[in-house]
């Protein structure tokens, strides 16, 4: 039977618990929710749904070009970041790829679908799941593609841009494509220290993956994009699937979302405050956290490997990380949410830890 390996599966959780009012900490979504302006844009877009969507997302890429300070021809939009991941594999057909472990599961899933050989660089608990300098030693001529999630999912550890530039300089002479997933970068403090967007003009083997999903709380609309100066890859992306993967609703929602500057400012402030609050409270509970530089917190609760099940019984859904490559039972990820939701989670954790420590 097919196994779903991501967070956000409130549907199965509802079936298991018969509880329609679950609090979902398993998906790392902007706690402010979908911006009201985007809701209005979605409603207005319905009037145009008798037409096919623009296959080139012209208005959306124009808006993105201004928002990201890049050329319009350097943007490709897709049905969420995950669809672009699969298209990238189909478009580039890598024979051999290098991934971190643990990291986002869809990289390996896509590569396996494309018949690629996949090797892994292990991120270990001994080094707080950080990517270290010895990663550079692995970058030989055998790799066609390297994937780095920054900040990494699920650990929330970040790589500085200066280090990623070293990675790029190792990859460039070998024509190795480097895909840097920056889908959570909007929630990182001082993102300019970590983003490699300023390097796309000087490295056409660099692809930066981004999404509206987490930043603007619109996972149900499905909208992502990739930034690259590699025109050949963009053309291949267009040829690697259907022409209408981005719906009219998604395009209009994206255009409107990019205008929500005050919403995004408030969201960043809220996430920063609540992330620190959760980290301090988890420390008081004796829970070991790692990384956690974005809008989610990665922690270990080895004394309670079934913590996710105990919380689900209390109406709270968290992400067990046991099915990530390189991790085992006892590792979990939680979203940073509103203070009220965070307090409910902490109260449940206190109850469970108190019982477990008896």
Q: Whose CA is closest to 196, among 243, 239, 159?
A: 159
Question: Which pLDDT does position 16 carry in this prediction?
Answer: 86
Q: Largest Cα–Cα distance of the chain, in whole Å?
A: 63
Other Cβ atoms within 10 Å of 277 Cβ, number: 15
- Which residues fall within 8 angstroms of residue 190, CB to CB, at 6 or more apart? none
Question: Which pLDDT does position 77 carry in this prediction?
Answer: 98
Question: Which pLDDT does position 357 carry in this prediction?
Answer: 58
CB crowding 305-323: b at 16 or more within 10 Å, else e:
eebbebbbebebbbbbbee
The residues that bridge with 153 in the sheet, in sequence order, are: none
Phi, psi of 20 (to 5 degrees): -80, 0
Helix pair angle (81-92, 105-113), 10° resolution = 40
The residues that bridge with 99 in the sheet, in sequence order, are: 120
Q: Determine the Cα angle at 9 with ends 187 and 98, to 5°.
A: 60
Domains of the chain (ranges, CATH numbers):
10-33+261-356 (3.90.1150.10), 36-257 (3.40.640.10)
Instruction: Give the single-character DSSP code of 35.
Output: -
Q: Which two tokens stand for residue 21?
A: 């009012």
Question: Which pLDDT does position 358 carry in this prediction?
Answer: 54
What is the rounded distance in angstroms from the CA atom of residue 321 to the CA atom of residue 176? 30
What is the rounded distance in angstroms from the CA atom of residue 217 to the CA atom of residue 222? 10
Q: Whose CA is closest to 253, among 30, 40, 33, 28?
A: 40
Question: Which pLDDT does position 302 carry in this prediction?
Answer: 85
Q: Which two tokens stand for residue 74?
A: 């350097």
- Is the dihedral angle over the CA atoms 12, 13, 15, 21 positive or is it negative? negative
Question: Which pLDDT does position 4 carry in this prediction?
Answer: 86
What is the rounded distance in angstroms from the CA atom of residue 52 to the CA atom of residue 48? 9
What is the rounded distance in angstroms from the CA atom of residue 162 to the CA atom of residue 165? 5
Q: Determine the Cα angle at 273 with ends 270 and 278, to 5°.
A: 115
Element spanning 101, H or E: strand 96-101
pTM here is 0.96
What is the rounded distance in angstroms from the CA atom of residue 292 to the CA atom of residue 157? 6
Question: Cα–Cα distances in Å, from 131 out to 51, 101, 159, 289?
Answer: 47, 10, 7, 17
Question: Which pLDDT does position 251 carry in this prediction?
Answer: 98
Q: Whose CA is closest to 188, among 26, 28, 7, 9?
A: 28
- What is the chain's pLDDT, residue by residue, as a tens digit (358 residues)? 888 889 999 999 998 898 888 999 999 999 999 999 999 999 999 999 999 999 999 999 999 999 999 999 999 999 999 999 999 999 999 999 999 999 999 999 999 999 999 999 999 999 999 999 999 999 999 999 999 999 999 999 999 999 999 999 999 998 999 999 999 999 999 999 999 999 999 999 999 999 999 999 999 999 999 999 999 999 999 999 999 999 999 999 999 999 999 999 999 999 999 999 999 999 999 999 999 999 999 999 988 999 999 999 999 999 999 999 999 999 999 999 999 999 999 999 999 987 665 5
The residues that bridge with 187 in the sheet, in sequence order, are: none
Report yes or no: 115 and 283 within 8 Å, Cβ to Cβ. no
Pairing verdict, β 319-320 and 331-335: antiparallel
- Is the dihedral angle over the CA atoms 110, 113, 114, 116 positive or is it negative? positive
């Amino acid at each position: 039977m097919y196994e779903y390996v991501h967070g956000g599966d409130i549907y199965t959780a509802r079936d298991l618990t018969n509880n329609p009012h679950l609090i979902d900490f398993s998906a790392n979504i902007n706690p402010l929710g979908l911006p009201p302006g985007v809701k209005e844009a979605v409603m207005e877009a319905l009037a145009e749904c008798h037409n096919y969507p623009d296959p080139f997302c012209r208005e959306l890429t124009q808006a993105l070009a201004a928002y990201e300070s890049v050329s319009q021809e350097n943007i490709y939009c897709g049905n969420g970041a995950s669809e672009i991941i699969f298209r990238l594999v189909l478009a580039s057909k890598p024979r051999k790829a290098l991934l971190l472990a643990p990291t986002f599961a869809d990289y390996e899933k896509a590569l396996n679908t494309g018949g690629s050989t996949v090797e892994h660089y292990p991120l270990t608990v001994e080094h707080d799941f950080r990517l270290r300098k010895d990663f550079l030693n692995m970058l030989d001529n055998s790799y066609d593609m390297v994937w780095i999630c920054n900040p990494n999912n699920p650990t929330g550890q970040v790589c500085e841009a200066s280090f990623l530039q070293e990675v790029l300089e190792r990859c460039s002479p070998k024509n190795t494509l480097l895909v840097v997933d920056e889908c959570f970068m909007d929630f990182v403090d001082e993102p300019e220290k970590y983003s490699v967007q300023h390097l796309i003009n000087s490295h056409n083997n660099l692809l930066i993956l981004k999404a509206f999903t987490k930043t603007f709380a619109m996972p149900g609309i499905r909208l992502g994009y990739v930034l690259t100066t590699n025109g050949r890859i963009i053309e291949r992306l267009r040829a690697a699937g259907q022409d209408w993967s981005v719906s009219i609703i998604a395009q209009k929602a994206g255009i409107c979302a990019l205008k929500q500057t005050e919403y995004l400012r408030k969201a960043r402030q809220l996430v920063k405050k609540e992330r620190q609050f959760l980290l301090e409270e988890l420390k008081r509970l004796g829970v070991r956290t790692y990384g956690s530089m974005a809008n989610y917190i990665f922690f270990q609760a080895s004394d309670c490997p079934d913590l996710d099940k105990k919380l689900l019984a209390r109406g709270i859904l968290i992400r067990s990380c046991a099915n990530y490559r390189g991790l085992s039972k006892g590792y979990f990820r939680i979203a940073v949410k509103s203070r009220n939701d965070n307090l409910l989670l902490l109260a449940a954790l206190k109850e469970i830890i108190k019982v477990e420590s008896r």
